[in-house]
């Protein structure tokens, strides 16, 4: 039987901010939480997949912005991605804690 744990869902979204300190913890921590707790916590499977899809999508967009740096527009893309990395985990942690469905824009459905 699945139990509801909104605080863990919110913490999973906020764990993406570990990238500021560790560089890669923002991907690894949600991945580990998803692998360990997805069968125990209600909505964790879907929300963790959304987080990981967001992270993978943003990485792909960063790779696309790198050659665009030569044209001068890649910097704008990197700034926008940086803002997304900071804002959307916080907004979606609040949504998850309130019981709402989190949404990450421009996310490719990979997982």
Share of the chain above pLDDT 70, in %: 99
Model pLDDT for residues 47-57, shown as the tens digit of each residue: 999 999 999 99
pLDDT of residue 83: 96
Q: Residue 20: pLDDT band by 50, 70, 90 thresholds? A: confident
Mind listing the pLDDT tens digit for each residue in 75-85?
999 999 999 99
3-state secondary structure of 83: helix
Residue 6: what pLDDT? 96
Secondary-structure breakdown of the chain: helix, strand, coil percentages, each rounded to the nearest 5? 75, 0, 25
pLDDT of 1 strictly over 80? no
How large is the average pLDDT for residues 48-71?
A: 96
- Name the residue among 33, 35, 85, 87 with its Cα closest to residue 56: 85
For residue 5, give every residue at least 6 positions away whose Cβ sits within 8 Å of its Cβ, in sequence order, or none: 41, 42, 44
């Amino acid at each position: 039987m699945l139990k509801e744990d909104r605080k863990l869902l919110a913490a999973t979204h906020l764990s993406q901010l570990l990238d500021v300190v560790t560089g890669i913890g923002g991907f690894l921590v949600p991945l580990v939480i998803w692998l360990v707790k997805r069968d125990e916590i209600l909505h964790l499977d879907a929300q963790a997949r959304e987080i990981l899809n967001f992270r993978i999508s943003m990485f792909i967009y960063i790779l696309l912005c790198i050659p665009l740096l030569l044209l001068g527009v890649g910097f704008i893309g990197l700034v926008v991605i940086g803002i997304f990395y900071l804002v959307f985990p916080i907004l979606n942690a609040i949504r998850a804690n309130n019981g709402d469905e989190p949404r990450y824009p421009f996310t490719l459905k990979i997982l």
